[in-house]
Amino acid sequence: MKYQAVLFDLDGTLVDSVPDIAHAANAMLKAMSRETLPLADLRNFVGKGTAVLIKRALCAQLNYIEPEPALFEQAEAFFNTFYHQSNGTQSELYPNVLSGLARLQEKGLKLGIVTNKPEQFTLPLVQKTGLAPFFDIVVSGDTCALKKPHPDQLFYACQKLGVEVENTVFIGDSLNDTQAANAANMDVLVLPYGYNEGKSVQNLTVNAIVEDISFAADWIFSQN
Ligand SMILES: O=C(O)COP(=O)(O)O
Ligand SMILES: [Mg+2]
């Protein structure tokens, strides 16, 4: 068996979490007497964790300028309060996530989540969406010292699961995921429906692009 474990990104891969993130970001902007942003813009700001999302929202652009520490602290406090309220209320699993996970689990593969979302938001979301029973480990954006695109979280997940990097495949939606996997020398699949900062996934360095988690399971079984 080539693969013994499958790791998954969360936002944009398993869960369409943008409605709840956008709600919190716009509530933060309103509370700070700033203009709210269209959901389409905020969607492109997701992927490098909530701190980067907040900075991008404050600048209303992807390439943010570092805010003053006091301003950031105020914004983060608002965002965290509002995201705790909205997290998991409108977020939805993408099609074929549950069936794909069930098929992988049935074959005895170990499953993990590796997300840049901080743990205080990851764990409630994983519970509320019904994902929790499938996973042997959940690695959040603040679990390790560095997060994706750094490979640390992937090494940590493998170590905790007791599997080798070469027997593990990572499934994600963005450049952060493929760069982390490439740096770890781990096989990687991407899905086309998530958030890749508004860019196509066609040019990423991957083993395959798969339509959804069920197709990902087919691909994994075809290698095993
Ligand atoms: O919190 C984010 O910005 C993205 O989280 P992800 O790593 O699950 O895509
Ligand atoms: Mg993602």
Task: Give the C-alpha separation, 120 to 13, whole Å.
Answer: 19
In the chain, where does the domain assigned CATH 3.40.50.1000 lie?
Answer: 5-16+91-223
pLDDT for the residue numbered 161: 98
- In CATH, which superfamily holds the domain spanning 5-16+91-223? HAD superfamily/HAD-like (3.40.50.1000)
**How much is the average pLDDT of 157-169?**
98
Axis crossing angle, helix 69-86 with helix 18-31, rounded to the nearest 10: 130
Q: Residue 68 contacts by C-beta under 8 Å, 6 or more apart in sequence?
A: none
pLDDT for the residue numbered 1: 81
Residues 172, 190 contacting (CB under 8 angstroms): yes
Which of 11, 13, 55 to probe ligand 1 with, by most ligand atoms within 8 A of CB? 11
**How much is the average pLDDT of 21-41?**
98
Residue 68 CA, chain-centre distance (Å), reads: 27
In the chain, where does the domain assigned CATH 1.10.150 lie?
Answer: 18-86
- Asked if residue 154 has pLDDT above 90, the reply is yes
Percent of residues, the chain, with pLDDT higher than 90: 99
Torsion of CA 79, 82, 88, 92, to 10 degrees: -70
Is 11 among the annotated ligand-binding positions?
A: yes
Ligand 1, atom 4: nearest CA belongs to which residue?
47
Is 173 among the annotated ligand-binding positions?
A: yes
At residue 224 the predicted structure's pLDDT band, cuts being 50, 70 and 90, is confident
Tens-place pLDDT, residues 196-214: 999 999 999 999 999 999 9
How large is the ipTM? 0.97
Tens-place pLDDT, residues 81-96: 999 999 999 999 999 9
The chain-wide mean pLDDT, for the chain, equals 97
User: Which residues participate in catalysis according to the annotation?
Assistant: 9
Judged by its nearest atom, the ligand closest to the C-alpha of residue 149 is 1
Give ligand 1 pocket residues (Cβ under 6 A): 9-12, 46-50, 53, 115-117
Q: Which residues pair with 111 in a beta bridge?
A: 6
The answer to whether domain 18-86 has CATH 1.10.3470 is: no
pLDDT for the residue numbered 214: 98
DSSP-assigned letter for residue 176: H
